[in-house]
Structure 1
Amino acid sequence: MAAPVGRLVAGVLACRAWAVRGVGSRLLSSQAAGSPWRLHGAVCLKRPPVVVQSKSPLQQEVDELLQQIELEKSLYADHEIKLMEDKVRLSKQSVNYDDDFDSDNKDIVLTQDLEDAWEQKWKAFKPAPAITEADDKNNRSSLNRKLQNTLVLLVKEKFGDEDIWLFPQLAWQAGETMKQTAERALSTLSGNQIEAIFLGNAPCGFYKYKFPKTIRTEDQVGAKVFFFKAILRSQDLQTSKGNGEYVWVSRDELKDYLKPAYLSAVQEFVVEI
């Protein structure tokens, strides 16, 4: 029975792959055949959190409980064993004091001395603040903000007489895959200097909209946008746009920029940010 089931599963997967290729080819061929809908490739570029998010009171309480349970059930570490051995050795030395013994061991570094040195280093350490200057100035064009959250890149594009905030996107060109179009949108934005990892070869979302009436024609009614996800690899990004023409925003801030219809279409694949 295993062989027929295996052939059946392979046949289903092959049919699905054929169907996906067929849909993609029909979409691209419709573009080439003069469809009034323009095909666009867009990318949802994310900057992952830089620091760990602050714990809620409940999370902090559970974390302390788990640490206490782990401590009670754990064995002594090598450092703790050495600390106890040093205490035994010092107690013997205080009972049987010997000048020769003391002179021979005066250069020994005890475990407690190491702990004292580590404690001094810890007191001198000053962690960088989680609230940055960009947070204080609400500079949303900076990557150095909201370090505890995932941020996504939005750019301002002009459609007719209206400025609209969108994910970076470009129109599809003949000979490209849709992923290559999305990659070109990023490379055009950053002058081929952006470092990003695309998550898969298939789109994660789809949105269709009509152009403003001022630029809408019978041959160009609107656009069909296919979204891809990508992760920013570096914390530095130089774009071809000036400040104010692009922003890095969290999920809660998307509503300040995106139109409701566009936001409802994209929130499905940015829900985890």
Structure 2
Amino acid sequence: MTPLFPLLNSSAARTCGRGKMSAPVVKMAGRCFYQLYKLSNSAGRLASGKTGIRQFSGAVVKNAAEPWRLLGAACVQRLAVISADQRPLEAKFSELMNQMELERSLMSDHELRLLDDKERLRRRQAVDYDSDEEEEADRDQDIVLTQDLEDAWEQRLKGFATQPRARGVVDARLERADRCLAEPLLLLTQQEVGPERLWMLPQTPWEAGETLKTTAQRALSATPGLDLQTVFLGNAPCGLYKYRMPRSVRDREGLTGVKVFFFKAVVSGPLPPPAPSSLWVRQSELKDYLKPSYLEKIRPFLLNL
């Protein structure tokens, strides 16, 4: 290809050298012409298609423009109602801390009075005991010893019956929200996804004119038989799960895939009765009901309280 700007020939260079232009200026002008020469050759290669730049096909641009279906999902947890049992290490540490607190603490008024009573009894049992040395207040009234008080308290304690610590209902079906009171539970509902029925968080498609949080709230109210009072923690989604549609569905419906936005919520009212097609599952049981890719997206924002 003929260059757009030919290089200066030797005669032109000699002519510039005999004029007023100095040698550095001639050198700079030569560089400018050389850069223009390289640009002209690059333009020629682009026009002929001989270039190292990666070309993007029209199919990629077309797929990027296809829409996604948006869904709102509610991650509802029933937090622990009672404290969990201490593990052996925790029980040993608690015992150690109680012993250290007892050794470093000051005596209470009751303990000081108990020491005074012991000293008074020691003086009375002595051989050289003189009752005139006792104060008039002690002689005028009967002294109630601290040991007598402790005996009375012991009798009252024996008559007090403690209630057993609640451990949950005997009927430990997964449909009940009052099971496993010492652990948080997660609400799962069974929904149809294509030809399958899968367990997942309550979800529903987004509708125009509503926020994604409103969509998640509507997903709870649309669950059949679920009478639940909840509080949503914030207005922004806490997680996202997306997947692509099969090729046949994409060609038929013109959708790239589905994006599910999760919103976190906790049970704020009475525990609901069992509802059909819904489960209350512990975190250790989620792997038995959720797909691994789905579980991987929701596990980071689960509350373990």
After TM superposition, the score normalised by the length of structure 2 is: 0.63
User: C-alpha displacement at 1:43, in angstroms?
Assistant: 1.2
SS of 1:148's equivalent in the other structure is coil
Q: In 1, distance between residues paired with 2:66 and 2:150?
A: 78
Counterpart pick for 2:278 among 246, 261, 265:
246
1:260 is aligned to 2:295: no
Q: Gaps spanning 5+ residues in structure 1: where?
A: 1-33
Does the Cα contact within 8 Å between 1:190 and 1:238 map onto a contact in 2?
A: no
Residues 233-257 of structure 1, C-alpha deviations (whole Å, 9 max, x = no match) = 1342147x42xx1111111100111
Residues 54-111 of structure 1, C-alpha deviations (whole Å, 9 max, x = no match) = 1121111111111111111112335545666677788899997x99845xx89xxx63
Counterpart pick for 2:169 among 124, 128, 132:
132
User: C-alpha displacement at 1:212, in angstroms?
Assistant: 7.2
Q: In 2, distance between residues paired with 1:155 and 1:92?
A: 77
Counterpart pick for 1:227 among 262, 272, 275:
262
Change (3 A) 1:35 1:234: farther
- Whichever residue aligns with residue 210 of structure 2, its letter is E
Q: In 2, distance between residues paired with 1:222 and 1:238?
A: 35
1:169 is aligned to 2:207: no
Q: In 2, distance between residues paired with 1:232 and 1:47?
A: 5
Residues 161-184 of structure 1, C-alpha deviations (whole Å, 9 max, x = no match) = 311111011111112111111122
Q: In 2, distance between residues paired with 1:192 and 1:144?
A: 14
Does the Cα contact within 8 Å between 1:131 and 1:145 map onto a contact in 2?
A: yes
State the match for 2:184 in structure 1.
150
Change (3 A) 1:237 1:88: farther
State the match for 2:21 in structure 1.
none
Counterpart pick for 1:119 among 149, 153, 157:
157
- Whichever residue aligns with residue 226 of structure 1, its letter is F
Q: In 2, distance between residues paired with 1:90 and 1:188?
A: 77
SS of 2:253's equivalent in the other structure is coil
Task: Compute the RMSD of aligned alpha carbons.
Answer: 3.6
Q: Percent identity?
A: 40
Does the Cα contact within 8 Å between 1:49 and 1:147 map onto a contact in 2?
A: yes
Alignment of structure 1 residues 69-88 onto 2, 5 Å: 69-81=100-112
State the match for 2:80 in structure 1.
49
SS of 2:83's equivalent in the other structure is coil
State the match for 2:214 in structure 1.
180
Change (3 A) 1:235 1:88: farther
User: C-alpha displacement at 1:113, in angstroms?
Assistant: 4.7
State the match for 2:90 in structure 1.
59
Q: In 2, distance between residues paired with 1:57 and 1:69?
A: 19
Q: How many pairs align?
A: 229
Q: In 2, distance between residues paired with 1:271 and 1:231?
A: 9
Change (3 A) 1:44 1:271: same
Does the Cα contact within 8 Å between 2:178 and 2:271 map onto a contact in 1?
A: no
Q: In 2, distance between residues paired with 1:78 and 1:46?
A: 47
Q: In 2, distance between residues paired with 1:168 and 1:222?
A: 19
Q: In 2, distance between residues paired with 1:128 and 1:170?
A: 40
Q: In 2, distance between residues paired with 1:80 and 1:174?
A: 72
Q: In 1, distance between residues paired with 2:209 and 2:155?
A: 64
Q: In 2, distance between residues paired with 1:235 and 1:199?
A: 18
Q: In 2, distance between residues paired with 1:83 and 1:35?
A: 85
